[in-house]
Structure 1
Amino acid sequence: MPRIVMKFGGTSMAGMERIRSVAERVKREAEAGHEVLVVVSAMAGETDRLIQLCREAAALHDAREYDVVVASGEQVTAGLLAMTLQNLGVNARSFMGWQLVQASGAHGNARIEAVEHRLLDEALQRGTVAVIPGFQGVSGDNRIATLGRGGSDTSAVALAAGVKADRCDIYTDIDGVYTTDPRIVPRARKLHQVTFEEMLELAGVGSKVLQVRSVGLAMREGMPLRVLSAFEDRPGTEIVTTLRSDMERNAIAGIAADRNEARVTLTRIADRPGTVAAVIGPLSKAGITIDMIVHAATPNRGASDLTFTLPRPSLAQAMAVIGEHRAAIGYSEMMTDQAVAKVSIVGVGIRSNPDLAARMFDTLADRNINLLAVSASEIKVSALIAEEELELAVRVLHTAFGLDAVPEPADEAAR
């Protein structure tokens, strides 16, 4: 029997009416002859509420106890969905993340090491729908460990790989992956297919459809993914290894926007080998992700400035870590800026057409948008800009690369 994993996000689980709708969808798949494993997120807004409670309990709280609290949201929805399925006549039961997922690393941002799939195999083979809370596992010291924001996507992919599922379907509040955020560009187009490489870059530079770690894991495991609407029965977006046909495909798959950025500059650090490592090493050990890095010599002989970007919520922690290592780094001043954002072009066509980057920079220059930093890979070019200019940058780039959807005749008549 085909084995599938269905993952439902927080908006899909926001209240009993939506949970009943999810249960009906799951029931249809089970009745169609599939072995079904369901991974659920907490109700929309619940994790934020639990995080705030942790902050009120103690500003510098124990990360292990934090995980105990924030993991409870997914456990609630797993139990409620299992009850609802049972009420519809479906043989279903919930499991807990600690029964199935072994995790390691920092609490609050743990990584999946292994999946204990024996219990799931037995349940699925008996025709039981397994309902599992995402976002969590158990650490080596037998404590609940959470996987970071958006970690339920990673849970779903890991469990799908563990039980050797035929595919993993991610249900969200949108019906697929778009060329950019439709709230910024109403003429954004839905992509019927995206490569794993493109989705990995889109997720990494601001697209909120899938968590970047889940895409990387699916790519390594060769796990077919689909992004579908939890509220409408319509085709979604397939995440594939190679496109079936790229004859009509634009060289650029999409424009990503990320407001979750902060910039740190350390002035007059020593211009010698190992200086950058002295900064980035402690940040990495603290679990802080660094993105763009600009290391430039200054007019002062033997000195340089180091600028890097990181997720905005990590800024306070990063400042503390850098302060602790000031003597080893030897910087003069630490400057920060949270009024920045990142805009990126993503597409497999970039690797064979360097002119695309030039077009990006020319387009931004034509609108007097200043570039604060730039980074690039084979299929991505990103620019750090002032946050107030982000939406303008997305719109002009979307048009410049021919991504705007052609309006329907009825739309033109209405205009």
Structure 2
Amino acid sequence: MALIVQKFGGTSVATTDRIKNVAKRVARWKKEGHDIIVVPSAMSGETNRLIGLAKEISATPDPRELDVIASTGEQVTIGLLSMALHEEGLKAKSYTGPQVRVLTDSTFTKARILQIDDDKIRKDLADDYVVVVAGFQGADEDGNITTLGRGGSDTSAVALAAALNADECQIYTDVDGVYTTDPRVVPEARKLDTITFEEMLEMASLGSKVLQIRSVEFAGKYKVKLRVLSSFQDEGEGTLITVEEEKQMEQPIISGIAFNRDEAKLTVLGVPDRPGIAYQILGPIADANIDVDMIIQNLGHDGSTDFSFTVTRGDYNKALKILNESAGKLNARGVVGDNKMCKVSAVGVGMRSHPGVASKMFGVLAAEGINIQMISTSEIKISVVIEEKYLELAVRVLHKTFGLDQAD
């Protein structure tokens, strides 16, 4: 008998029929003797609908009240799922995040989990209940409802698994595992049997939408065994996310090609090359709560420098306005930008012991006439920023070059 946390995404609970199917799946695991905690998302599209209602009232909704509204989607799902489990002959009890007490900080719409009180859940499990906990939400020290940001149900599930020392956390979604890249772009993409926490974290941060970044961070930190499975297939082992030492000895150098279309590039031209200039440029950007990704500084011959960085497309206009307003203070020649960029990345722990991956990647892209505008590297990934029109070509050729196609 094992303690298992099962998380079901929005598409898995999109209709009452699908909720009934989830209940049948949970019932099979329960009848095998396992203790089960289920963490469902809101029904597909519901969170967007709720946020849309809020924006019909206010163009800039108060974050605290927005969390009150957005958290109700999961509350509906946990009630419906508990009822469906009752219909399967199981004892089931639902809890919102605040009822469990998932304690978070007070950063509304983007809260972080600080602590989970597991007393109620352990008591219910001992009484043979299936415990259904709303994902995506918690409460701060003052009892205010908070949400964890989009995709936060993954984080809720992993945090519960860590708090309860669960044997496995299963993430059920509309795909049957983690693939070497998006099969919609590369039909030859392969499902991975295993991937390391490090690789999955890079893949998630670089554009793979299978898991939320914070959930992978949690799982890696607390060594929670994480498995991605399909809600719509009864068979298959999915993909196990594990520590590097547990992978097979012989692994491909590259495990996957990730990409992100949500990229915009900004360049401040001809600013003085002096200490503190990076802070003068990026300080106001940070104050506006804009996340910066890649950064490049190119020194000119006249003592000036061009300073480039990337942001999400949603933050592009805001960042461009800030830079234009501060260009005079910076003594810059001007500000230019392009919001039709993308990022393509090769990820793999095999890079640590195999030199030459970067040159191979750059050579392949050059052969296809793809200009690299920015480069970022870590121990296990290489990312390039290129024009969006080249995205699919770049992903296909890199996937094939690094031996990831099924035929290979």
User: Which deviations, in whole Å up to 9, do the C-alpha atoms of 1:293-334 show, x marking residues without a partner?
Assistant: 111223443x32221112223334444665676676565533
Q: Quick one: which of 267, 275, 278 aligns to 1:276?
A: 278
Give the partner amino acid of 2:268. L
Give the partner amino acid of 1:390. L
For 2:261 and 2:217, how far apart are their aligned partners in 1? 22
| Structure 2 residue 201 is the aligned partner of structure 1 residue 194 | no
SS where residue 149 of structure 1 aligns?
coil
Distance verdict in 2 for CA 1:79–1:317, change over 3 Å: farther
For 1:196 and 1:346, how far apart are their aligned partners in 2? 12
C-alpha contact 2:327 2:334 (8 A) present in aligned 1: no
User: Which deviations, in whole Å up to 9, do the C-alpha atoms of 1:177-230 show, x marking residues without a partner?
Assistant: 110000011110111010111111111101111111110111000100000111
My pick for the range that moved more, 224-233 or 327-336, is 327-336
C-alpha contact 2:251 2:350 (8 A) present in aligned 1: no
The corresponding residue for 1:123 is 124
C-alpha contact 2:6 2:36 (8 A) present in aligned 1: yes
Number of aligned residue pairs: 406
The corresponding residue for 1:2 is 2
SS where residue 159 of structure 1 aligns?
helix
The corresponding residue for 1:373 is 374
Distance verdict in 2 for CA 1:160–1:316, change over 3 Å: farther
Q: Provide structure 2 residue ranges, at least 5 long, that are not aligned to the other structure.
A: none
Distance verdict in 2 for CA 1:333–1:75, change over 3 Å: farther
C-alpha contact 1:106 1:287 (8 A) present in aligned 2: no
Q: How does 1:54-93 map to 2 (within 5 A)?
A: 54-93=54-93
**TM value normalised by structure 1:** 0.92
Distance verdict in 2 for CA 1:331–1:130, change over 3 Å: farther
User: Which deviations, in whole Å up to 9, do the C-alpha atoms of 1:247-278 show, x marking residues without a partner?
Assistant: 44211000001112122222233322222233
SS where residue 157 of structure 1 aligns?
helix
Distance verdict in 2 for CA 1:63–1:177, change over 3 Å: same
Alpha-carbon deviation of 1:244?
3.9
Give the partner amino acid of 2:35. E
SS where residue 121 of structure 2 aligns?
helix
C-alpha contact 2:158 2:219 (8 A) present in aligned 1: yes
The corresponding residue for 2:390 is 389
Alpha-carbon deviation of 1:354?
2.8
Alpha-carbon deviation of 1:400?
0.5
SS where residue 78 of structure 2 aligns?
helix
For 1:332 and 1:403, how far apart are their aligned partners in 2? 45
For 1:324 and 1:164, how far apart are their aligned partners in 2? 51
Q: Provide structure 1 residue ranges, at least 5 long, that are not aligned to the other structure.
A: 408-415
For 2:108 and 2:381, how far apart are their aligned partners in 1? 31
For 1:141 and 1:279, how far apart are their aligned partners in 2? 37
User: Which deviations, in whole Å up to 9, do the C-alpha atoms of 1:101-124 show, x marking residues without a partner?
Assistant: 111253211111111211111111
SS where residue 77 of structure 1 aligns?
helix
Q: How does 1:316-327 map to 2 (within 5 A)?
A: 316-319=317-320
Give the partner amino acid of 1:229. S
Give the partner amino acid of 1:258. N
Distance verdict in 2 for CA 1:352–1:166, change over 3 Å: same
Q: How does 1:281-320 map to 2 (within 5 A)?
A: 281-284=283-286, 286-301=288-303, 303-319=304-320
Alpha-carbon deviation of 1:129?
1.0
SS where residue 244 of structure 2 aligns?
coil
For 2:353 and 2:170, how far apart are their aligned partners in 1? 32
The corresponding residue for 1:19 is 19
C-alpha contact 2:105 2:140 (8 A) present in aligned 1: yes
My pick for the range that moved more, 303-312 or 149-158, is 303-312
Q: CA RMSD in A?
A: 2.0
C-alpha contact 1:252 1:348 (8 A) present in aligned 2: yes
My pick for the range that moved more, 7-16 or 56-65, is 56-65
C-alpha contact 2:194 2:247 (8 A) present in aligned 1: no
For 1:68 and 1:331, how far apart are their aligned partners in 2? 44
SS where residue 43 of structure 1 aligns?
coil
Give the partner amino acid of 2:269. T
Alpha-carbon deviation of 1:245?
4.8
